[in-house]
């Protein structure tokens, strides 16, 4: 195919990619990284000092032959401009030639890959019969996790903790549409104590005072902590045992570890490629992560294949046409 595809979040969401397909793609990519077929750079971030948070990921591989770069910005002033609080773009190139293959809006991909990474861990660490899920943070990540976890567990009840009335209402409506009872929690402690599964997706902010404590979780609960553990009290994290992170090699490159390294049982590669984990039904388990390039790589590759099959997206090409004068 000559040229490259431009794909919006709406077009990507319309591809019909299922949770099962997302998990298959993620686990295959994690295994490929473990055997050296895909190489990744540590996630990078810049905090300009005015509330913005800019981050990038990079992965390249030969199975498939792709290089994927994602750039995302969190801007606290965007909602007042009528824009999403998080905006970004994904660039997909041929890893052999460098040719541009796709330019994707990053919202759908980020939501799906983050919920998918949580689900990869949850399939191994959460109670299979989990019925109550608590969301701390009720924005886009909570909505993506609701969809994925409803596909994996026999959920019956959703407990919500959030500050934005609009997001609370939207997430509650989606949960009811899935057949769940919805409760707005009186306190974060009550919300955590009620949960079989907790999803923490609080928007990162400078100087945030931690307000969640893993010791509030009941025995057998599982916490998917997508916000790098920032809202969680460090002194309570030892209550999560086992405790996994996304990428131990990446974490070694970070000057501010999400959790005390001695508490970490392993990472996603350990869970996916290692021996089957014997789950202790009385243990509180956790998965803490800041995001990893292999997730963006896996979902971008899956979405590109599906878009090509469905002939979705706008075809563009910035190379000169035959016979044209590039000057």
Domains of the chain are: 4-109+293-316 (3.30.1780.10), 127-288 (3.40.50.720)
Q: For residue 85, what pLDDT band results from cuts at 50, 70 and 90?
A: confident
Q: What distances in angstroms separate CA 318 from CA 99, 106, 130, 315, one per listed residue?
A: 11, 21, 51, 10
Q: Is the pLDDT score of 310 beyond 80? A: yes
User: How many other β-carbons are positioned within 10 Å of the β-carbon of residue 209?
Assistant: 7
For the entire predicted model, the pTM comes to 0.93
Q: Residues 30-73: pLDDT tens digits?
A: 999 999 999 999 889 888 888 888 999 999 998 789 999 999 99
Q: Is the pLDDT score of 324 beyond 80? A: no
Mean pLDDT across the chain, nearest whole number?
93
Q: Residues 139-148: pLDDT tens digits?
A: 999 999 999 9
Residue in the block written with tokens 């907790």: 198
Q: Is the pLDDT score of 327 beyond 60? A: no
Quick one: which of 33, 42, 41 has its CA closest to 61?
33
Q: For residue 105, what pLDDT band results from cuts at 50, 70 and 90?
A: very high
**Which strands make up the sheet holding 266-267, listed edge to edge?**
181-184, 157-161, 132-136, 197-200, 222-225, 285-288, 243-245, 266-267
The DSSP-derived string for 140-164 is HHHHHHHHHHHHHS---EEEEE-S-
Q: Residues 158-210: pLDDT tens digits?
A: 999 998 889 999 999 999 999 999 999 989 999 999 999 999 999 876 678 99
CB 250 within 8 A of CB 292: yes
d(CA 22, CA 302): 8
């Amino acid at each position: 195919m000559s040229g490259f595809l431009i794909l919006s979040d709406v077009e990507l969401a319309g591809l019909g990619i299922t949770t099962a397909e997302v998990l298959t793609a993620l686990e295959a990519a994690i295994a490929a990284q473990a055997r050296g077929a895909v190489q990744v750079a540590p996630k990078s971030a810049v905090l300009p000092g005015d509330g913005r948070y800019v981050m990038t990921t990079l992965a390249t591989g030969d199975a498939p032959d792709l290089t994927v770069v994602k750039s995302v910005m969190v801007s606290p002033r965007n909602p007042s401009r009528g824009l999403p609080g998080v905006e970004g773009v994904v660039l997909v190139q041929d890893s052999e030639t460098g040719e541009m293959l796709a330019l994707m809006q990053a919202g759908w991909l980020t939501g799906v890959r983050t919920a998918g990474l949580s689900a990869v861990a949850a399939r191994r660490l959460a109670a299979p019969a989990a019925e109550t899920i608590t969301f701390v943070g009720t924005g886009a990540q909570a909505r993506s996790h609701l969809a994925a976890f409803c596909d994996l567990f026999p959920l019956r009840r959703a407990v919500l903790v959030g500050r934005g009335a609009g997001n609370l209402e939207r997430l509650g409506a989606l949960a009811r549409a899935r057949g769940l009872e919805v409760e707005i929690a009186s306190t974060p402690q009550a919300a955590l104590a009620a949960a079989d599964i907790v999803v923490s997706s609080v928007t990162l902010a400078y100087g945030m005072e931690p307000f969640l404590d893993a010791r509030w979780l009941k025995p057998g609960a599982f916490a998917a902590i997508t916000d790098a553990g920032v809202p969680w009290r460090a002194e309570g994290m030892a209550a999560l045992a086992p405790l996994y992170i996304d990428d131990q090699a990446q974490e070694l490159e970070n000057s501010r570890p999400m959790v005390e390294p001695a508490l970490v049982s392993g990472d996603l590669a350990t869970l996916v490629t290692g021996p089957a984990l014997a789950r202790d039904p009385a243990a509180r388990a956790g998965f803490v992560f800041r995001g990893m390039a292999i997730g963006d790589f896996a979902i971008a590759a899956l979405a590109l294949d599906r878009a090509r099959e469905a002939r979705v997206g706008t075809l563009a090409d910035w190379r000169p046409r035959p016979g044209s004068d590039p000057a």
